[in-house]
Amino acid sequence: MPDLVATILGWVVPALVVFGVTAIAIAVLVWAVRRARRSPRARAAAEQARAHAGATLVRLDDEVAELELEVGLSGALYGGDAPASLRRARLAAQHTRDDAFEEYRAIGDPGVAPADVRRVAARIERRSTEALALVAAARSEHGTWVRQHVSAAAQVDAAQRRLAELRGAMGDPAALVADLSSRFAEDEWREASRSARAALSEAAEAGRHLDAAAARAGDPSLSALPDLAAGERALRQAESDARNLEETHRLVLQAAHAVPEEIAAARTALRQASVTREHLDPAEADRLGAELHAVEAELNRIETDAARHPTRTVEAIARLRGRLDLALGDARTAQQRLRGARTALPGTLAAARGALAQAEASVSRSRAGADARSRLLSAQRELASARQAQDPVAALDAARRAMRDAEDAKALADHARRSPTG
């Protein structure tokens, strides 16, 4: 029997040693591979791949904007809808762009493995390049058709009609700015003033280019296309700034009207939070009481100058309501959360709309990169979700996300505009 045990141990022990050493070697190898994949060098390579994909995505976004312009021009030239080929190309490119921006933002999270970043970046690069080729083919096909069937004079006439319509719709931009400046602080109407000046300047520039294009259109030896294209770009930017002026004016007046209600709703929420505090244990009650005191002090400070700064006040109250919700945590009942969301939603939606308008203006006038544009698209989606949601709590959460994304987009776009390479 001892000999049998010795024989078995003679076979088993070496085998266990071999298997143990092999298992340790495999574990060390797996660890080394994983570490290499997450090393600074791997992360740098992944970030480079993401940046390259982002640059291609920005090109696609710009091309989609150009295609949208061309679709609008086609509608004007044909007296109706744009050609089906252009509409299909635009929809396909928009869908690809929106999905790609969502993926691009997702791989910006530091927790994503470098290998996954490179894989998704390669997919973004491939799909964006395919979409760019689709857009280029559609525009080339359409350009050929236009040159064969539509005269340069007709194109110039269509652009001049749009310019005349824009000038008629703008009226006197200075009057809108004067209305705001007579009632509110400068930071409330500064963006409107900038948009008014830009819209007038761009409309004048568009007029000069279109006049030059009209003069060239009558001479077969000259090409009107360069001036026509320049006029269209100036006209498009003028339309964008005119919309921004009107939106800013509307948002400021709406905020001024809403300020008293928002302040009253915030004070009601504070009183309800105080009632909730009475049912908490002493430690939680003390913590919540300190936060309520801080929120009330901030609300009192905001209220002193609310009439002169309506949009800033509405935004600040929206943040205070979020801070209050965070402080209350799970202390409220479902009914209390629902009631609080209903009263906080109007002001938060207004704040999100204002933040989005500012972000759109910043992105449109800067060489914003993919990060700013992806956050802008996310803000637009979140705001749309907030408007469509039936549940006030879900709508409030979406509005707050839209507000944060819009603020991030504006900050990134402003940074790009201030940077030497921006």
The closest of 273, 271, 209 to 237, measured between CA atoms, is: 209
CA distance 335 to 151: 65
Tens of pLDDT along 1-25? 555 555 655 565 565 555 655 666 5
Count of CB atoms situated within 10 Å of the CB of 18: 10
pLDDT for res 36: 46
pLDDT for res 18: 57
Q: Read off φ and ψ for residue 33, nearest 5 degrees.
A: -65, -45
Q: Which stretches in the chain have pLDDT values below 70?
A: 1-38, 71-83, 145-150, 220-223, 420-422
Burial 262-301 (b: 16+ CB within 10 A, else e): bbebbeebbebbeebbeeeeeeeeeebeebbeebbebbee
pLDDT for res 17: 58
According to DSSP H, which parts of 365-388 are helical?
Answer: 370-388
CA distance 421 to 221: 39
Provide the whole-model pTM: 0.79
CA distance 290 to 23: 56
pLDDT for res 173: 92
pLDDT for res 417: 81
Amino acid identity at 285 = A
3-state secondary structure of 77: helix
Helices (H) and strands (E) counted in the chain, each on its own, are 13, 0
Q: Copy the structure tokens of residue 206.
A: 């568009």
